[in-house]
Structure 1
Amino acid sequence: VLLSCFFDAMGTIMGIGDEAKLTDARGNMPGINKVLFVDGIAVAAGGATSSSATTCFVESTAGVGEGARTGFANVVTGALFAVALFLTPIATMVPSQAATPALLAVGFLILSGSVKEIDWADYTIAMPAFVTMVMMPFTYSITNGIGMGFITFVVLRLAAGRAREIPVAMYVVSAVFAFYYLMPALGLT
């Protein structure tokens, strides 16, 4: 659960931050600690109340793509959700496929901004990026996509004899993901 919450939030926050031009020249997002803290509190509060996930969602990129920057769009969205509580019986009549156009727009925004920055000439960068992008929709999980991308990065860098270029944290996180994926085969779930 920790891996899922953290990497879903991190992937979403960085994707939205990049789209909103909130990242610096190195791709870092100033103040991300505060964002992750608030997200962590929301996840804990959601769990304590037995509600569904209260983390940030990649669909938020749709608002950013339309110009939302200050947080006022979030206030409006929250107010509309409060109104929607009373309209839930009507809302359940709308099929989940109705969200498809918004998700396609989000995917387009993410791809049009981020993919062009990938160094496609270096297969130890390009292949993990590709695996990450492909595994997210196939596994229906941002976390699984990121995990597979991390593992692919480490394996390819090791195979290319570039082990010194791999940060220690990447080894650790990749090992944790590998164990996480092997747990069912080991009978640990």
Structure 2
Amino acid sequence: MVDVLGIGVGATIVLLVVVLHFSRGTEWTPTEDISSDVLERRASTVPETDFPEPMNRSIGGGGVAAGAVGAGSEGELEDGEGEETVDDDPSAIPDDEAETYEIEFVKEGTTISVKENTTVLEAGEEEGWDLPYACRQGQCISCAGHITDGGHAEDYIEHHTNEMLGDAEMSEGYTLTCVAYPTTDFSIETGESP
């Protein structure tokens, strides 16, 4: 009928669970969470920047132009030091005065007209193409492309604020599309880096 051994084992297990439930244990308490303090301490050692981290497209792919710092900011340059003139920025050319060039986007299979005050990246994005980029300031090579017409890249485009490509890469036809303004007609393969 009723198995005495089964009842004995069941009662023992129940009793053990009740005893463990009401026991005080080791009274161990977890230590204070210091992770936010550690992160703040590490962050305080890194200087602030006005541009997003490379390869992070979720933040819109851009901030202010390279070197543009609000008045009164830390690290402000002395008067006259490191100033760029507005005249060397092709984007400052008014639309009604800008020349237009034919640029063939090889991988996209289309030739489009691009004004000299528009970057190659912006022109491709206006066509609805998802071209690679990250900083939009010439400080990484995420947006690199290869001009397939041969010769030095600056025979075809003007780089504004290029900080990554050297003369060796540009002589092979590589360019940073985010800061590349056309100066003549050419063909380009986007997403190609040296």
TM-score, normalised to structure 1, is 0.22
The structure with the larger Rg is 2
TM-score, normalised to structure 2, is 0.22
Between structures 1 and 2, the one with greater strand share: 2
Between structures 1 and 2, the one with greater helix share: 1
